């Protein structure tokens, strides 16, 4: 069954401030007055990754007509391409479509890629690409040809890195931008899933990685970030430090990965970004 969904959301300056606080700009603004533009109403600035959380239409995943095992979905990858800077307030809409579904077999599940074009007051501002692991939907006789693959990091030391700390309450702030999964807030739910405490949202980790790239390679100018994507490899616990390691590939193209400094654990892989 073909699917094309639509989303709509009236987004305010306050929503933008909440998102920016959720991805850690409050920590930065304490020590760097330049970062206050992300957390104060006067001349408020949005950050590009905000395009991944506005005007989301997730009805397909829980709709029984599509047969998706909703409780077995894992978010595997996320990427965004910016067509123009994200406004801090707008009526955001989105159109969503399934790009492809690949079969890994009955035990391996399926892979689904979804594209979502975001519009601000009817003008296209961003295109998101999300890859999901459908762990309960494999074995339908499909192919793996053309399935998304993460690029390997260059076989050399990184050209640089940028560390950004998270706070213990980071997930509790980020959830106000729409991700209310109790895995990120309720200790009992996290323990049942096998984690010692609630974990940070993958899209929050991804946005913090983008912040590291902007700080380390774009002189802090978020409007120079034109594209960023990565694969989720492991979890981050609130309070840990995310180190974004990057390689300059030329012509503004960047490869990157992220690790948690405290545990020396890789948490994002196959990162690609474009900085103007």
Domain boundaries, the chain: 4-134, 160-275
Q: Given this model, what pLDDT does residue 135 score?
A: 85
Q: Given this model, what pLDDT does residue 4 score?
A: 58
Q: Is-same-fold flag (4-134; 160-275)?
A: yes
Q: Which residue has the higher pLDDT, 69 or 15?
A: 15
Of 125, 100, 93, whose CA–CA distance to 115 is shortest? 100
Q: Given this model, what pLDDT does residue 228 score?
A: 98
Q: Given this model, what pLDDT does residue 3 score?
A: 52
pLDDT of 247 strictly over 80: yes
Q: Given this model, what pLDDT does residue 57 score?
A: 76
Q: Given this model, what pLDDT does residue 155 score?
A: 95
pLDDT of 146 strictly over 90: no
Span 219-238, average pLDDT? 97
Could you give the residue numbers annotated as active site? 179, 184
CATH topology (fold) of 160-275: Thiol Ester Dehydrase; Chain A (3.10.129)
Q: Given this model, what pLDDT does residue 1 score?
A: 42
CATH topology (fold) of 4-134: Thiol Ester Dehydrase; Chain A (3.10.129)
């Amino acid at each position: 069954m073909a699917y094309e969904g639509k989303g709509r959301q009236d987004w305010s300056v306050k929503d933008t401030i909440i998102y920016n606080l959720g991805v850690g700009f409050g920590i930065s603004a304490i020590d760097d007055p330049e970062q206050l533009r992300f957390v104060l109403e006067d001349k408020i600035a949005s950050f590009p990754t905000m395009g991944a959380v506005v005007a989301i239409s997730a009805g397909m995943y829980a709709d029984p007509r599509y047969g998706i095992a909703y409780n077995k979905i894992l978010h595997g990858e996320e990427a965004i391409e910016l067509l123009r800077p994200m406004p801090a307030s707008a009526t955001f809409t989105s159109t969503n479509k399934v790009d492809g579904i690949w079969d890994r077999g009955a035990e391996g599940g399926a892979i689904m890629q979804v594209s979502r074009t975001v519009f601000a007051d009817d003008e296209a501002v961003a295109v998101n690409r999300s890859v999901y692991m459908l762990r309960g939907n494999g074995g339908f006789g499909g192919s793996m040809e053309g399935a998304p693959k993460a690029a390997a990091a260059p076989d050399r030391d990184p050209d640089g890195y940028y560390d950004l700390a998270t706070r213990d309450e980071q997930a509790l702030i980020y959830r106000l931008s729409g991700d209310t999964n109790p895995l990120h807030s309720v200790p009992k739910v996290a323990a049942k899933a096998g984690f010692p405490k609630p974990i940070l949202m993958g899209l929050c980790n991804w946005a913090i990685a983008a912040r590291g790239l902007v700080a380390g390679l774009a002189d802090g100018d978020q409007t120079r970030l034109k594209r960023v994507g990565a694969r989720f490899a492991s979890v981050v616990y609130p309070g840990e430090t995310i180190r974004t390691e990057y390689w300059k590939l030329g012509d503004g193209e960047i490869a990157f990965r992220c690790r948690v400094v405290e545990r020396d654990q890789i948490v994002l892989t196959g990162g690609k970004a474009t900085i103007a």
